[in-house]
Amino acid sequence: MAIEDSELQTLARTSAAAWPGVGLPLDVFVVHLRDRIGETDTAVMVQGIHLADLYLACACLHFDPLAWRELYRLHLSRVPQFVGRMDASRAFIDEVRQRLSAKLIGDSDSPAKLALYTGRGPLGAWLRVAAIREAQNLKRRTKRMVDANDVALKATAHDPEMHLLKHRLAVPFAECFQEVLATLSADERNVLRLHYLDGLTIEEVGKAYRVSRATAARWLASARQTILERTRAALGYKLGESAPRGESLLAFVGSQLDMSLHGHFKP
Give pLDDT tens digits for 133-156. 888 887 776 655 444 445 444 545
Give the integer Cα–Cα distance in Å for 82 and 95. Answer: 13
pLDDT for residue 54: 96
Where are the alpha helices (H) located in 84-122, listed in sequence order?
90-105
Which of 47, 17, 70, 63 minimizes the C-alpha distance to 9? Answer: 17
pTM score: 0.55
Q: Please provide the size of the chain in residues.
A: 267
Q: How sure is the predictor about 41, in pLDDT bands with cuts at 50, 70 and 90?
A: low
E strand spans, 37-160: none
pLDDT for residue 3: 67
Percentage of the residues of the chain whose pLDDT score is greater than 70: 79
Half-sphere CA count of 105, side-chain side, radius 13 A = 15
15-43 mean pLDDT? 84
Query: Which H helix or E strand runs over 223?
Result: helix 213-239
> Which value, to the nearest 10 degrees, does the dihedral of the CA atoms of residues 212, 215, 216, 219 take?
-170
Helices and strands in the chain, H and E counts: 13, 0
Give the integer Cα–Cα distance in Å for 59 and 55. Answer: 6
pLDDT of 193 > 50? The answer is yes
Q: How sure is the predictor about 117, in pLDDT bands with cuts at 50, 70 and 90?
A: very high
Average pLDDT value over all residues in the chain: 80
pLDDT of 110 > 90? The answer is no
Q: How sure is the predictor about 251, in pLDDT bands with cuts at 50, 70 and 90?
A: confident
**Cβ neighbours of residue 62 closer than 8 Å, sequence gap 6 or more:** 24, 28
Which of 189, 194, 199, 195 minimizes the C-alpha distance to 145? Answer: 199
Give the integer Cα–Cα distance in Å for 165 and 162. Answer: 5
Give pLDDT tens digits for 161-181. 555 666 677 788 888 888 888
Q: How sure is the predictor about 30, in pLDDT bands with cuts at 50, 70 and 90?
A: very high
